[in-house]
Amino acid sequence: MLTLLGGIALLVLGYFTYGRYIEKNFSIDPERTTPAEALKDGYDFVPMSKSKNAIIELLNIAGTGPIFGPIMGALYGPVAYIWIIVGCIFGGAVHDYMVGMISLRNDGAHLPELTSKYLGKPVKHIVNIFAMLLLMLVATVFVTSPANLIASITPDWMTIGIITLLIFAYYLISTILPIDKAMGKVYPWFGAVLIISTIAIGISLLTGGHNLPELTMGAMQNFHPKGTPIFPAIFFTISCGAISGFHATQAPMVSRTSTNEREGRFLFYGMMIAEGVIAMIWAGASMALFDGQTLSQMIDAGTPSAVVNQVSTMLLGNVFGTVAIIGVIVLPISSGLSAFRSLRTILADYMSIKQDSMKKILMMTIPLFVISFFLTKVDFNLIWRYFNWANQVTAVIALLMSTRYLYLKNKNYLVTLLPATFMLYACVVYILSEPIGFRMGLQTATYLVGLVATVAIMALYWTTGVKQKVALSPESELLNDHLPIGTFSSIDAVPAAVAAE
């Protein structure tokens, strides 16, 4: 119990201390006009309140990641707590804040446009591929996982196939609506269900006499029943609860609806901390209610949704447990919707297809849904592995972009460079060792090759950065917090006030 409560306290403390430092290092300007006001179009750029933006950001980034990931991460034992806490405060929350705020400074640009500006145009094509692959995998995962959860609490005639089609129908309707109608009206209700159910799970876990594992010196070991090494696997298993590249595709959506830079720490850093709290509760519940072998068998039998069902009903009973399951369901449904919405806008920007008519919106949206529908037929665990790989590579790219931004502006860039370097090494080792990569397995040679490759990549990155900074002039576009006019295909014209700047 002390570990769980202490971990949550550290996450909250991190928001008020390290989060404040990250905000100060970025140097916010509360008087600056935001994209929501300067580029208001009634569809994607719509001024909304801080509370609505916070709920949208939380539901967009959460999905089943901070629940499914920690459930699978619980197989490693209490060491999973360490990665959630440290990863969230120093990695994930910094990652989300920087991408969100840099996007806000650059007219609500998505990650590909930001990397094009700060890392060079050739990188934009690579990032577009990774971002679109990631979003397609996320969207598919966030159709499959809620379908399984809904099927577990509905009559037998509501098959997974029917539920999947209904979810796609909801996504289609919501994707083509203005953001304040698609999310602003519904998400506060979704958020209320999520928050209440999460609090209920946490209180029941703490007051129900359950044996919560503590993080002691004796528990500082790998308890995975299959012997899966902690490094690098745990950093890909627990992603959305600690650091996730998917968030880099979602933060720009809220940067287009925010009305003051002062709200950034709460919206981006704070909502990642909230996700970390959710992850702590579900990791603790999984470890407290099941031994590693049982937990592993439940996950292997299908998806972690079976664990969600058991945890909810065991802690809250059938009635309130069902409400808790609904609270979990709203996470992937909301994130799936935002994934499709982001995927459509990124693809439209890349192909220079203005999203100024329903015909063009549907032309971009429907093919994406068709591809995702066929992907739902693929084994969930296989998709999850590819999702985790693409997810963390995207996180590394986002952190490197953020580092370059801070470096060029003479800010403390170590706050993003250090987590970027660590995650890059984890990604390289993962790709070298896993079946989806070079199949080297985890041996000494793998770690050494991974180290050499990481050093080489970072040396190239640093060299290009130094050359870029030396060549800067005071009026350089890189020091101007606006993208060139006409960057977005979905915007017909940039207001005169912005053009003048």
Q: How confident is the model at residue 479 (pLDDT cuts 50, 70, 90)?
A: confident
Burial class, 305, CB count within 10 angstroms (exposed 0-12 / middle 13-18 / buried 19+): buried
CATH of the domain at 246: 1.20.1740.10
Answer whether the bond into residue 232 is a cis peptide, omega within 30°. Answer: yes
Average pLDDT over residues 471-488: 66
The structure's pTM equals 0.88
The answer to whether residue 369 is domain-embedded is yes
- Give me the helices (H) in 2-120, please: 2-16, 18-26, 35-38, 50-62, 65-73, 79-87, 93-105, 111-119
Rounded to the nearest angstrom, the gap between the alpha carbon of residue 31 and the centroid of all alpha carbons in its chain is 29
Q: Which domain holds residue 366?
A: 2-392
Place of tokens 């590249």: 245
Structural domain includes residue 447: no
**Residue position matching structure tokens 């449904």:** 333
491 lies in some domain: no
pLDDT of residue 491: 37
For residue 347, the surrounding DSSP H or E stretch is helix 305-351
The pLDDT tens digits of the residues spanning 379-405 come to: 766 776 777 788 899 999 999 999 999
Query: Is the residue at 439 inside a domain?
Result: no
| Selected residue with higher pLDDT from 311 and 479 | 311
Q: Which of 323, 297, 299, 321 is nearest to 310 (CA)?
A: 321
User: Could you read off the pLDDT of 119-146 as tens digits, one per residue?
Assistant: 988 888 888 887 888 888 777 877 877 8
Q: Considering the domain boundaries, does residue 471 fall inside one?
A: no
Residue 89 lies in a domain: yes
Which range has highest mean pLDDT (95-104, 136-145, 232-241, 386-395)?
95-104
Number of domains in the chain: 1
Hey, which of 46-50, 139-143, 491-495 has the most confident mean pLDDT?
A: 46-50
Average pLDDT, rounded, for the chain: 86
- Kindly state the average pLDDT of the residues 375-379: 79
- Tell me, what DSSP letter sits at residue 477? G
Judge whether 448 lies within some domain.
no
Find the helix or strand (DSSP H, E) in which 436 lies. none
State yes or no: pLDDT of 438 exceeds 60: yes
Please check whether residue 175 lies inside any domain of the structure. Answer: yes
The pLDDT of 318-324, averaged and rounded, is: 79
